[in-house]
Amino acid sequence: MAQVIFFEKPGCAGNAKQKTLLRASGHEVDARNLLTEPWTAARLATFFGDKQVRDWFNQASPRIKSGEIAVGDLSPEAALALMLADPLLIRRPLIEVGTRRESGFDPDLIDAWIGLAATPEKVSDTCIRSQQEAKLPQES
């Protein structure tokens, strides 16, 4: 069993499923509000490791989806400044176990790291609302 610090957007259905899976896997989850956490650029950067800057972002964010923010053109410093100003841009959840930190919910990575129970349905970090919107019929 791992002690998991889980930074989430409160009310996010995807984060709720992820926490349920972690608990079902025997882990203790300390859920914290990603949006009100007093982040610094240095601390936030530790969750991204060697990932590409574009992978630091919540791709379901309206500012990303609209093209207002072109994540492929950002330096790490500029990306962190944007995220500190607007935490909804951060790919979530942010997960901390011991000294290791990760961003997003990659089931294979988390299973290899701390272990996950098998589930009949895939749990990922894709926004459930975005999945539902993609299934809606398009207006003409």
Per the DSSP assignment, residues forming a β-bridge with 31 are: 6
3 state DSSP class of 8: strand
d(CA 57, CA 70): 11
Per the DSSP assignment, residues forming a β-bridge with 30 are: 5
Q: Cα 28 from chain centroid?
A: 18
Main-chain dihedrals φ then ψ at residue 106, nearest 5 degrees: -95, 105
Length of the chain equals 140
CB-based contact 114:27 (threshold 8 Å): yes
3 state DSSP class of 77: helix
Residues identified as active-site? 12
